[in-house]
Chains A and B, each alone.
Chain A
Amino acid sequence: MVPYGTQEWLDEYKARINNSEEYRTAAENWEGELAFVFEAEPDMNWPETRYALLDLWHGECRRAWMGSEQEAEAVPFVIRAPYSRWKQVTRGELDPIKGMMQGKLRLKGDLPTIVRYVRASNELVNLAKDIPTNFPDEE
């Protein structure tokens, strides 16, 4: 089991992204960094906001790292949500498209680009679902 929201989890995620033919096809023209912001929920054993960043380039994840708020603010695409929402997404309990429409996941970035690559985004979520994950509120 890999602890959620850690570099170890991101390393596993990156490896799965780069092994996915489905993702490579869906994101073959995607260029740009993407940040996932996991907002603090102290009562869920997630005391501080964490920032995961992915450098995605033509169907490949070139780098995945836990970064700072400043780094996350500087990338062109950011998706923010409280930790518990991300947990729902990662477990497949919350569809990311519906979550965005409901305002449970908040987007920042060029909307036409995000909409154009919605299948790639779904594939990213599917890949995260398969990682055997240890969630901190269940420890």
Chain B
Amino acid sequence: MPTAFLNARLIDPASGLDSPGAVLVENGTILDFGAHLFAGGAPSGVETIDCHGHVLAPGLVDMRVFTGEPGEEHREDLASASAAAAAGGVTAFVIMPNTSPVIDDVALVDFIRRRARDAARVRVHVMAALTKGLAGQEMTEIGLLGAAGAVGFTDGTKPVMDAQLLRRALTYSKLFDSLIVQHAEDPSLAAAGVMNEGELSTRLGLAGIPAAAETIIVERDLRLVELTGGRYHVSQISCRDTLEVIRTAKRRGLPVTCGVSADHLSLNETDIGEYRTFFKLSPPLRAEADRQAMVDGLTDGTIDVVVSGHNPQDPDTKRRPFAQAADGAVGLETLLPVILERVHNGDLPIADALACVTCRPADILGVDAGRLAAGAAADMTLIDLSKPWVVDADALKSKSKNTAHENRRFQGRAVRTIVGGHTVFQT
């Protein structure tokens, strides 16, 4: 039976649609939608869902998620990550290849996709390793991996340092129009650093990572992009100077895109307080001026996408002295609320904000998602823009509870998540 979503505020960032209306779904795809639909009244022979005037938007696409599957399922598996995603209004996410074993082989891409089909509530895409074993020395089989379904190539948490290798990868990937994704941090400058370098690292007696460790890699890579014309994406930027470098490159028309994590939009280094390891991230949380620059970059469109950077860690890896603790925070369930916070603060309109987590990541990845369109998959998120709520770590769906937003008050969240026409989450 077809399903009608009635009494909704439809927002489709790709087409600029923002109007009251309805959506009709059958067999997992959108048949029709718009203000005209069912304007005369409730249809018959159709299952109806009243949206109570909430925003019905394309489901969120999260470009950067870590799971523990395969290898460390006690931290997170595809099933638990997808439950967290559904609860956060995320209908598709991309997992990073930093698993055990590393996703650098066609069989592993295949394995993940099959596992996801069986176990996950939302759509799972795979980003494969750019170098074999993430060792930074030999290129993986970009063509075969892409054919198997890999949506991009990255060494995840490791920067590709060999300039010659990156140059060849950017050149070779043009054959398939593949996306090359960099984690921008110069390891020799970052060295033993565990947080942003500055007054606070000095006070805490922790080794710092200068902002230049990020900027210098992006500057170098952009030269290679210019040389090769390959499609290049910086997974997460964190500092003002990097933003400026990317802004200039975009103005010159280079094929470059970049993302920022929700945490870097909403937190800064002072949140570390007295060695709170849940705020130990990579790249590190930066100064307030950098955070503000990230918001500006989002507003003016220099930053293309917002990611959760979801990285589940358990007490074994987090309840340690700061320098020894693992990087990362879970974020699938707080991605949308952080973005809505920017909307409520007046930094950018709702449609632009949603574009950063719907059509733009879908376009960069080349996946069919992120749009309300006739014939498109019925992956949608119903959003209550004003619902106040408080983050309770224990209530998170993720197996790991290392949120950087515990007890934080948010306004607005996903109240229903729909994948292929089926409701996979509902408050």
Query: Do they bind each other?
Result: no
- Chain A residues within CB distance 8 Å of chain B: none
- Chain B residues within CB distance 8 Å of chain A: none
